[in-house]
Amino acid sequence: MNIEKLQKAEARYRELEGLLADPQVIADNKRYQTLAKEMATLTPLVNTYHEHAQIVHEKSELTHLLSEKHDKEFVDLAHAELEDLRVRQENLERQLEELLNPKREEKDRDLIVEIRAGTGGDEAALFAGDLYRMYTKYAAQKDWRVDLINSHPAEGGGFKEIVFGIGGKGAWERLKWESGAHRVQRVPTTEASGRIHTSAATVVILAEPEEVELVIDQKDLKIDVFRASGPGGQSVNTADSAIRITHIPTGTVVVCQDERSQLKNRLKAMRVLRARILDKMQEDSHAKESQERKAKVGTGDRSEKIRTYNFPDRRVTDHRIGFTSHQLNSILDGEMEELISALMEAELKAEAET
C-alpha cells in the first residue's frame, strides 16, 4: 500500500475542498465543474483511507488495553474484536490497492482505435478495412458506442488509415491488448496465379483521457486548416474544414478531415491528440514493467507481430498466448469473444505470477 500516494491524494482532496468554496472558482463554471469532477474521483479513495486509519487506531487502542490485566471474558471479547478489526483492515487495504491501481480504474473508460495499412499495398488497405469491420461488429454485439473520427480511404478499397472511438462498459478491458501488427495471408483477387500474399496492418489502442487527467496548454498547439481530400487527392469539400494540430513540446501531429465542420474536426482531433500524449506518458512510466508479464501477454509494442489471419487454412493465431482458432470468417465478422477471453485469462494468469 503506497502511503505516500495516499497522503498526496488526501492533501489534494483538502485543497479541492478549499477551492470549491472559493467565490472566484464558483463564479467560473467551467473550472468549478472540472475541480468538482476531480474531487468526486478522489472521494472514494480518501474515504477508504480515512476508514483504514480509524481501524488502525482502534486496533492500537485495543492492543494497549490487552497489555493490562483484565478478566477472561473481557480478554476473549477483546481478542474477537481484534480479529474482526484485522479482517476489516485487510479488506480495506485490498480496496485501497484497487483504487490506487490505474489499470483497474480503466475498465470502463473509452478508447480510440487507430488502424493503418502496412506492407502489402492495396491488399494491406483492404485488410485494414476488414479489421475495422471486425472491431465495429464486435462493438455492436457489446452495445458499445462507435464514433468515426478520421479516415483515409484507399483507391482500391479499404483504408490507408482509419481512426475511431469506442465507448461502453468493458470496452477498454476487452480491447486493450489489440495493439500491434496484424498479418494476413491470402490470395488477392487480382492474383491470377493463385499465389498467397502476406500483408499487414497496424492497430493502436489508446485510452481516451478525461480532461482532469491531462491538461494541454493551448499555447503549446499549432493549428492549421486546409481543404479535405479524398482517395487520389481530389478535394471533397469546398471550404477549409480539415484540421491539423501539432503539439509543439512532443511533436505529436493529428489530422482530422471527415467532418464538414471545422469545429467538429477540431474537437475530434483534440480527442486523438490527448489520447496519444497520455499514451506516451504512460508508456514512459511503465518502461520498467515486469519482463515475466510481457512474456505472458505480449508487450503491446506496435511493431510486435501479435496475430496472423490465414485464409487458406481458415485459421487465426495469436502468437503471444499460443491461441489458435479455425473460425476465421466468424472472427472477422465480429465473433471475437473466444479470442478476447483467452487474452484476458492470460493477463490474469500473468498478474497472479508476478
Q: What percent of the chain has pLDDT over 70?
A: 85
Mean residue pLDDT of the chain comes to 84
Dump pLDDT digits (tens) for 301-315: 455 799 999 999 999
In this model, does residue 106 exceed pLDDT 70? no
Dump pLDDT digits (tens) for 307-350: 999 999 999 999 999 999 999 999 999 999 999 999 988 888 87
Dump pLDDT digits (tens) for 114-171: 999 998 889 999 999 999 999 999 999 999 999 999 999 998 899 999 999 999 888 9
The answer to whether the CB of 142 falls within 8 A of the CB of 168 is yes
Those residues with Cβ within 8 angstroms of residue 114's Cβ, 6 or more apart along the chain or in another chain: 161, 162, 163, 203, 204, 206, 272
Question: What domains appear along the chain, each with residue ranges and CATH number?
Answer: 3-100 (1.20.58), 105-207+329-353 (3.30.70.1660), 218-285 (3.30.160.20)
Dump pLDDT digits (tens) for 259-292: 888 888 888 888 899 888 888 877 765 554 444 3
How far is the C-alpha of 331 from the C-alpha of 137, rounded, in Å? Answer: 10
The amino acid at residue 245 is I
